[in-house]
Amino acid sequence: MRFKFFKSSLFISVFLLGFFNFAQQKRVDASSVVSYLLDHQKENGAFGPQNKEYTDLAWNYPAIYTLKILGANIPREKEAFKNGNKSWIEINSRKNGPWYWSFYQKANLYHLYNVSDINFESGVKRNQTWEIKFKPRKGYLEFSEYKKGFFFNIASLWHMLGAISLLDGHVSNKGSIENYLLSRQANNGAFVDDVSAIPTPTNKDANLVITSYAILVLKSLGKDIPNSEKCIQWLQACQTSNGGFKYNPDNKEISNKPDVWYTWCALQALQVLGAKPKDSKKCAKWLNSLQNYDGGFADRPGWKSRIYSTYYAVSSLHYLTGNANSAITQKKRVNKNKYIPEGKYSIYQAFHKSPVGGNGMIDSIVKMNINLIGVKTNTKHIDFKNGISAQVTKNKSYVKQKNYKLEVLELPENYSHKLTWNNNQKADHISNFLVPPNLSYKQAQIYNKAFNAGKEGLSWIGFKTNVIRPIRKLSKETLFYPELDYSMINAYQVYDEGLDFGYGYNAVPGAHFGNIDWVRHFPYKERWEGVLPIIADGDAHGNINKWQEHILQFRNIFIAKDYHFKSYIEASLNGRSVCVIRMPSGTLRYYGSKAAINYLKKHQSQWEWWTN
């Protein structure tokens, strides 16, 4: 009887397991893409990111373009244009932001709707004559200087000229732009984004995105692409064995992996050159592999869907075949939603770069329900014999005396740190990290050496090797992130080099005082949501009284076994830390993994700091 019962139980278990898997499976195709995109249409008719209340040009344009490629009906189409034809930075007159990328998207959206306003925006008119000039980017700010005809790298050049072309503009100095690009073409036919006055393009520095943009610029000017056969061969060599494209055929960096953006750029460039990938079938198959259970497409296999990666994938299939609907094959997909188990963890709160202060600051932080702070110490006050400042030492002693559930850490803004990005752009505001607690003398000396190396203005590779890596290895791991990543091309490399045990940045700034939501400000940051921890960075510029309102705006809410440093890092690197922003309207915005966000929403009463 026991054997019969076991057989019956086994049969039932297998049946239920099979039923569960069957229930979590469905077929996806081109119609699933349409459904996925329409799920992102908001109350005002325009499109925005999933689980967020806002709409923006950066989500509206790619959604509408993709729906039009697929021949789909767009509900409330006029409202979609009216309420989604500007970026957040334009609406709010921000000085800094991805202005050139937004300018290009805006021109494309107007073109899609065949809107021919004479005054496109302040300083930009249709049928305008332009003199285009290179102007070096002196600091970390990207201004909207396309209105004056200035560009600062090849990406900004293409985004400006691409927009001007769509606005029926005329360029008066085509020859000087051609010369700028040709001086940056490497021997292999590809292009290098070298912003130096006297560029020295090398094969190893060639980049697929830059090469694609350079080709598109030359085409828009009606110019030939020199060494086109070599260029075609180089682009084709960027295709990997699985069908997708990486940014360089030979670069060994961990960031150099197939990505839907790189593939989209490669296919555009090859089309201009009258060529195809070395294996179009594999490319189409790889692109189809990016489609998820929700119908959208990911940036890489296994990543979450988002509007922009869906736009890249569908556009790429359109370039490949001329018919995206038929190119999106029907396929089975399994719902791979992950869940955080109940009863295993508790919920805690962290705040990065909090104000310096004494006992009163600590008391205030505890009253605000925070369990871990990284104090924004002046590096001059850190004793490198033990890797900690006197003030944070006193803070820790007071916490112990009061028996507070609070971890106090050092998180200096290393203003003296400089580096040179891969395109020779000088950069600052690039070095933030939580200093692990209780460093030994030997560890403190490693910290000191790395800190001093950061002041030398190293190349990106040198900075990774001599600053980020030793800091991250001080106590197995910590979080290291920049305040500003300077451009989308740069961001892809420096954050992707923090993936898969690489020693690039392993966290992304997502909230900041003033403009609060940096993912909306720099929309490309959403690519790493659920992949790398998104950090709420307070960047204190005053004492606890002055900075209290900012501390009450956002936090990192983390799900962990305890609130101490190692548990926070473990939770952050395993998708259990969420950047939560409470907007002035009271609306909550979550940036993190889907599993962690769902868990926090379910247990909101345990952590909603604004009720106290």
Q: What is the mean pLDDT of the chain?
A: 95
pLDDT of amino acid 337: 86
The DSSP bridge pattern shows strands 129-130 and 133-134 to be: unpaired
Q: Which residues contact 380 (CB under 8 A, 6 or more apart)?
A: none
Q: Give pairs for 193-202: CB < 8 Å, separation 24+.
A: 193/153, 193/154, 193/155, 193/422, 193/423, 193/489, 194/423, 194/424, 195/136, 195/137, 195/152, 195/153, 195/423, 195/424, 195/425, 196/424
Give the C-alpha separation, 270 to 263, whole Å.
Answer: 11
Q: Which residues contact 581 (CB under 8 A, 6 or more apart)?
A: 511, 516, 517, 536, 553, 554, 588, 589, 591
16-62 pLDDT per residue, tens: 444 344 448 999 999 999 999 999 999 999 999 999 999 999 999 99
pLDDT of amino acid 2: 35
Which residues of the chain are in CATH 3.20.20 domains? 346-582+594-611
Burial class (CB in 10 A: 0-12, 13-18, 19+), 138: exposed
Q: What is the DSSP letter of 465?
A: I
- Which residue, among 267, 240, 248, 180, has the nearest Cα to 208 in the 3D structure? 248
pLDDT of amino acid 362: 98
| pLDDT > 60? residue 423 | yes
- pLDDT > 70 fraction of the chain, expressed in percent and rounded: 96
Confidence of residue 383 (pLDDT cuts 50, 70, 90): very high
426-455 pLDDT per residue, tens: 999 999 999 999 999 999 999 999 999 999
What value does the CA radius of gyration of the chain take, rounded to a whole number of Å? 25
208-252 pLDDT per residue, tens: 999 999 999 999 999 999 999 999 999 999 999 999 999 999 999
Single-letter amino acid, residue 8 = S
The pLDDT of 138-154, averaged and rounded, is: 95
The pLDDT of 289-298, averaged and rounded, is: 99
| pLDDT > 80? residue 180 | yes
pLDDT of amino acid 13: 44
pLDDT of amino acid 158: 99
The pLDDT of 529-545, averaged and rounded, is: 97
Give the C-alpha separation, 437 to 129, whole Å.
Answer: 59
Q: Which residues contact 582 (CB under 8 A, 6 or more apart)?
A: 552, 553, 554, 588, 610
The pTM of this model reads 0.94
Which residue in the block uniquely carries the two structure tokens 């004494």?
Answer: 358
CATH architecture of 346-582+594-611: Alpha-Beta Barrel (3.20)
The pLDDT of 403-407, averaged and rounded, is: 98
- Cα of first residue to Cα of last residue in the chain, in angstroms, is 60
| pLDDT > 60? residue 5 | no
Token pair belonging to 147? 């209105």
Which residue in the block uniquely carries the two structure tokens 């077929």?
Answer: 27
Confidence of residue 15 (pLDDT cuts 50, 70, 90): very low
Secondary structure of the chain: what % helix, strand, coil (to 5)?
45, 15, 40
Which residue in the block uniquely carries the two structure tokens 């607690």?
Answer: 437
pLDDT of amino acid 64: 99
